[in-house]
Every structure is written in structure tokens, then in C-alpha cells.
């Protein structure tokens, strides 16, 4: 089977293979099923999306796309693009496919202003307003709290200083509160990498959740 699908933490990416037309229909079905199972097991917001009332719509989507593959009405690239764009357009623009078809689909969405993705859909119930301020403090004898309400450049120095305070404390536990963080630049976390990763390789493509499938993937990649 074509096993070129990978996941990237906060920027989950997929690849369908260079030429889905060269695959048999059975191979495309197998790869599509793998993509679906991989997302359901490894994509961090998946459970929250389902709990927000989108389970029926999602089930109908994946059933429709698989049916199109079975009937030859769509190839793997088209099915995978339609599958991922459902998440991308409504919930999370960090999920994407590394395929030209997906880029064209995104361009069409932008032209038609159809992208609805908003992190508050998953994290902010009702009209509840949560506007946290940066915090770096000891909450008990063993635990330090760092609250990071934004990853914009203005918060970089404060976040780094907060980490330094934790490192100089006698605390063993660290809580990083990023609820309702509006996003920004990833460099805010550069100084945190040694704490957040359990392996020495830190390029962007290695930003994986530590699931068994992802760990197995990287063990195989490191052999190449």
C-alpha cells in the first residue's frame, strides 16, 4: 500500500503519492481508509469536533467519498482533498495535503470566502469571554504555571523569561496554559523544545504527537 501519509503537530500534512492514477482502485481504497483511520487516531482536534455535533455530517462525508472511489467517480487525490478540506475550511487551517489539488481547492475557498475555520469554535462555548493575561508563577511546592495567551512576537520575551523562571525554581512539574491562544509565530516556543520533545531531532517536519504510529514512522525514517 501507498504509505506516504504523515502528520505534523499543529500543521498536520498529508501526501497521496505522486500519481494516484497509477494505483488500482483497491489500493486507492486502502490508502483512503488509512488516511481516515490516521486522522481519527492522531489528529488532535478530532474528538472535539465530533463532540461539537459534527459526527453525523462527518460520517456522511467519509461514506460518500469512499463510495465515489468504489464507483471510480473520484481518484485518491480527489477523495483525500475533499476529506481534508472539510476540516480545513471549517475548523483548522493547520491541516492540509501536500498536493496541487489541495492547493487549488484552498485557492477556490479563499476566492469564494468560504473558509470558516476558527479555533474558538472548538474551545469557546457560547458567548463566554476568556481573555487571559500572561502568567508565570508557582502554584504549589512542585508545580509552576506559565500562561501564554498569544504567540505573537510581542509575547516572545515574556514567554522565554517565564521558562527561565521555571528552570531556576525547584519545581518538577510545568503547566503551560494555552487556552484561547490566538496563534502567531512558532518561534515563541523555540526555547521550550528540549522540554516538549522526547527526541533530539527538531525540524518542523518532526512536530509529531507521540502516538505509536508516529513513533514507528520516525524510527523507519531514521533508518533511511
Pairing of strands 13-14, 135-140: unpaired
Can you read off the three cell numbers belonging to residue 208? 509529531
Question: Grid cell 485557492 — which residue?
Answer: 107
Q: End-to-end CA distance of the chain, in Å? A: 19
The pLDDT > 90 percentage for the chain reads: 33
Read off the pLDDT of residues 130-172 as tens digits, 9 standing for 90 and up.
667 889 999 999 999 999 888 888 888 998 999 999 999 999 9
Q: Strand, helix or coil at 83?
A: helix
pTM listed for this prediction: 0.60
- Output the average pLDDT for the chain: 78
Q: Which residues contact 177 (CB under 8 A, 6 or more apart)?
A: 132, 135, 145, 146, 147, 148
Q: For the chain, give percent helix, strand, coil, nearest 5.
A: 55, 10, 35
Say what the alpha-carbon torsion angle 14, 19, 20, 23 is, to the nearest 10 degrees: -130
**pLDDT for the residue numbered 202:** 55
Amino acid at each position: 500500500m501507498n504509505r506516504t501519509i504523515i502528520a505534523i503537530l499543529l500543521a498536520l500534512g498529508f501526501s497521496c503519492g505522486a500519481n494516484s492514477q497509477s494505483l488500482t482502485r483497491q489500493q486507492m481504497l486502502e490508502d483512503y481508509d488509512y488516511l481516515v483511520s490516521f486522522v481519527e487516531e492522531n489528529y488532535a482536534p478530532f474528538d472535539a469536533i465530533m463532540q461539537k455535533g459534527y459526527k453525523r455530517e462527518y460520517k456522511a462525508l467519509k461514506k460518500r467519498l469512499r463510495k465515489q472511489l468504489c464507483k471510480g467517480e473520484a481518484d485518491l487525490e480527489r477523495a483525500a482533498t475533499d476529506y481534508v478540506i472539510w476540516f480545513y475550511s471549517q475548523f483548522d487551517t493547520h491541516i492540509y495535503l501536500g498536493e496541487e489539488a489541495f492547493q487549488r481547492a484552498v485557492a477556490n475557498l479563499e476566492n469564494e470566502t468560504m473558509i470558516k475555520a476558527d479555533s474558538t469554535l472548538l474551545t469557546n462555548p457560547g458567548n463566554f469571554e476568556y481573555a487571559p493575561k500572561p502568567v508565570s508563577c508557582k502554584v504549589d511546592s512542585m508545580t509552576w504555571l506559565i500562561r501564554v495567551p498569544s504567540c505573537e512576537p510581542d509575547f516572545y520575551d515574556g514567554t522565554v523569561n517565564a521558562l527561565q523562571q521555571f528552570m531556576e525554581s525547584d519545581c518538577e512539574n510545568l503547566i503551560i496554559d494555552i487556552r484561547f491562544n490566538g496563534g502567531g509565530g512558532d518561534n515563541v516556543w523555540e526555547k521550550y523544545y528540549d522540554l516538549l520533545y522526547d527526541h533530539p531531532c527538531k525540524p518542523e517536519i518532526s512536530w509529531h504527537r507521540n502516538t505509536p504510529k508516529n513513533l514507528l514512522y520516525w524510527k523507519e525514517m531514521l533508518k533511511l
